[in-house]
Structure 1
Amino acid sequence: MSRRSVEVTTDLVLRAYRHGLFPMAEGRAGDKLFWLDPIKRGVLPLDGFHLSRRLLRTVLSDSFIVTADRNFAGTIAGCATPLPDRTDTWINPQIERLFTELFRMGHAHSVEAWQGATLVGGLYGVALGGAFFGESMFSFARDASKVALVHLVARLRLGGFRLLDTQFVTAHLAQFGAAEIPREIYKQHLAEAVDHPAVWLADPGDATLEAEFRGLAGQSAE
């Protein structure tokens, strides 16, 4: 007897996130998704984010214009673009369709870094209650993804989020304070976060963001 495959819908994706699982494809050309539930989970503490003075200067400069939810399709396409150090990606067309639909539903969000009219970096993820699940980021210009990440953290803190899930920890994320925690501990934090009310703030205002950036840098210096 053959096993009938389960259709992956946006509802299934949201239920999976609520229980600590997330989907990936084997490659850009892959036609199937699989679910991950790592033994060690990457998280980036919102109250322990490391923002260097150098990066603060870049964030406050006019090097990039940063927006949120302005070009989700372009952001996920940027994350799926092969790069010299990343010739393949786990973001296949099905992932793009699912998360674009989640964006239309108000569950997925993007942060974009622009130079003029050109999108040069950004990130996207999913929000459930007070938990934000970071999916992927990209950078076509120096510091573009770092600046987008700082903007994300500022918005999450201002909106009352409690958990920033990075799935895994890379050297890029470790410099900001990301660390691995055991799956059991992660799911305890997750259960508390998804039931906590939070608000996604696409545009908190320049003055509010600047004050939060400076607070992050001051926290890092302590």
Structure 2
Amino acid sequence: MVVWLEDSASPFPPVKRALHNPNGLLAAGGELSPQRLLTAYRQGIFPWFNPGEPILWWSPDPRCVIHPSEIHISKSLRKFIRQSDYTVTFDKAFTKVMQACAEPRSYQQGTWISPKMIAAYTALHHQGIAHSVEVWDGENLVGGLYGLSIGSLFFGESMFSRQTNASKIAFSFLCVQLQQWGFNLIDCQVHNEHLESLGAKLIERDAFCALLAKHVDDPSISQWEFSIDVNAVAQFATGIR
């Protein structure tokens, strides 16, 4: 049975109690305070629910992850990155990235990124825990992603693209920078073909939780600024494919 969380003091149940169908549904209710979200992510749990629903908490098995050093960047994408005039930044437009991720998409109905979610993650951003990657064409925001940084782990939430390859560029820059910073893993949560094409893979939830226990208390990066450029991304990618 799904556990109902009465308030912010209600503990999350062990993730092994999550349902098989729907895969990973663990609990419902509670709140989206920064501390509650941190407690969830540190245990391998994340919120995902539609507007009008109670908060639903998930921990799927298997889990979709990618090691930053295993990013797959195709030859055509490397060429595109070298020739592109896009600019890539960290944390310059966090809320705008979330709002863009919440925009309607042709392949899905609605969005789970409600104003309540945006407010909760923006609060984490102000605490230096949630971060965004932005891709700019001049002054226009054309792609990006956001997620949480805890220890040496990055918990990816969503990405968007308004122009060709923009989300792939954001993800590529993120992976290369995290690899240079010594991050151990990016949590992609749920598998899809787009993530798989970039190098994501499935691992058992037990293995994922073991990595959490090992790395959530690693030293964190306090200042998120890119120390890489377009050539570094292209050269890094060339070395692995």
Q: TM-score, normalised by structure 2?
A: 0.83
C-alpha separation between the residues in 2 aligned to 1:140 and 1:132? 24
Paired AA for residue 234 in structure 2: R
- The CA deviation string for residues 18-64 of structure 1, in whole angstroms up to 9 with x for no partner, is 11001112x2x335311101111000122221111211122223331
1:114 deviation in Å? 1.2
Whether the 8 Å contact between 1:161 and 1:199 is mirrored in structure 2 is no
The code of the aligned residue for 2:240 comes to: S
Matches within 5 A, 1:1-222: 4-5=6-7, 6-25=30-49, 27=50, 29-199=51-221, 202-205=224-227, 208-210=228-230, 212-221=232-241
Distance 1:17 1:134 in 2: 11
**Equivalent residue pairs, number:** 216
Show CA shifts across 1:168-187 (max 9, x none). 11100101110111100111
User: Would the aligned equivalents of 2:81 and 2:234 in 1 still touch at CA under 8 Å?
Assistant: no
Asked if 1 retains the 8 angstrom alpha-carbon contact of 2:32 and 2:117, the reply is no
Report the Cα offset of residue 113 of structure 1: 0.8
Shift of 1:193: 1.9
Q: Distance in 2 between matches of 1:209 and 1:118?
A: 19
**C-alpha separation between the residues in 1 aligned to 2:205 and 2:34?**
24
The answer to whether the 8 Å contact 1:160/1:197 transfers is no
Distance change (3 Å), C-alpha of 1:154 and 1:3: closer
- The letter of the residue matching 1:13 is L
Task: Tell me the distance in 2 between the aligned counterparts of 1:78 and 1:14.
Answer: 23
Q: Which runs of 5+ in 2 are unaligned?
A: 8-29
Q: Is the 8 A contact 1:43 1:166 kept in 2?
A: yes
* Alignment-mate amino acid for residue 67 of structure 2: P
CA drift at 1:83: 1.4
Native 8 Å contact 2:161 2:167 kept in 1: yes
Alpha-carbon distance change, 4 to 186 in structure 1, aligned in 2, over 3 angstroms: closer
Residue 157 to residue 103, structure 1, CA distance change in 2 (3 Å): same
User: 1:145: how far off?
Assistant: 0.3
Tell whether the 8 Å contact from 1:69 to 1:111 is kept in structure 2 after alignment. yes
**Structure 1: which 5+ runs fail to align?**
none
Check 1:45–1:3 CA distance in 2 against 1; reply closer, same or farther (3 A cut): closer
Cα shift at 1:78: 0.5
SS in 1 for 2:70: coil
Tell me which amino acid in the other structure corresponds to 1:12: R
Q: Tell me: higher relative CO, structure 1 or 2? Use CA pairs within 8 A at least 6 residues apart.
A: 1
Q: Distance in 2 between matches of 1:190 and 1:215?
A: 30
Q: Secondary structure at the match of 1:11?
A: helix
Deviations 1:152-204 (A, max 9, x none): 11221122211100001110010111011110011111212212224266333
Distance 1:37 1:160, change over 3 A: same
Helix, strand or coil at the partner of 2:125: helix
**Superposed CA RMSD:** 1.9
* Separation (CA, whole Å) in 1 of partners of 2:158 and 2:185: 16
Identity %: 35
TM-score (norm 1): 0.90
